[in-house]
Amino acid sequence: MHSDASVLPLVEDNDRPTELLDKILESDEAHPPVNPYHMLIGRIIAVDDTGTSVAFSNTTSKALSVCPLERKDIGRLCAIQFIQGDLSKPLIMGLIHTQTSAGPGEIPKTSEVSVRRNGKQVVIQADDELVLQCGESCIVMTAEGTVYIRALYIDSHALATQRLRGGSVQVN
């Protein structure tokens, strides 16, 4: 048993499992190194002819899955373990389901998406996540502030200065 006060309890008396999942996903605490023998929560970022990709602990990787996945599962949370404890071999154990999560291809009834037009701009808002998908291309924006862009080709062009900024910038 951990005596560390920063570790979240499994379930408090007044917490529902969905509230616990929200607490874990919204935590701003620094993430400890990934233990390859623990189950992780990740996000499906691509499902295509070349396989499935997942994002977890600030990294992305191709993954195998024990359950069938389709393109409409992109953006869903999933449970991940690692084959023989190898962090480069994630295995999707299943999709995360909560009372408000949608099944494949369904929009949760509790989710609200609003679209506003004022003549000069269009604003699309979603409570938890916004997924834009067209064929092989996909952009996923989460309420936590993460944006995933997945495509066969990405072309970025600027007529003036083009900047790439971040706490750290990694290329390949």
Buried b (16+ CB within 10 A) or exposed e, 54-84: bbbeeebbebebeeebeeebbbbbbebbbee
DSSP letter, residue 116: E
Reading the chain (172 residues) residue by residue, the pLDDT tens digits are 444 444 444 444 444 556 666 665 665 555 567 777 788 888 999 998 888 999 888 788 899 999 889 888 888 889 999 998 888 899 999 888 765 555 544 444 445 556 667 777 777 888 888 888 887 788 888 888 888 888 888 888 888 888 888 877 777 7
**CB 69, CB 43: distance < 8 Å:** no
| Residue 55, phi then psi, degrees to nearest 5 | -115, 135
Query: Quick one: fold of 17-26+38-99+110-150?
Result: OB fold (Dihydrolipoamide Acetyltransferase, E2P) (2.40.50)
- Is 110:123 a contact under the CB 8 Å cutoff? no
pTM of the model: 0.45
Q: Any residues with CB less than 8 A from the CB of 52 and at least 6 apart, and which? A: 44, 46, 62, 63, 64, 65, 69, 92
Listed by start position, the domains of the chain span 17-26+38-99+110-150
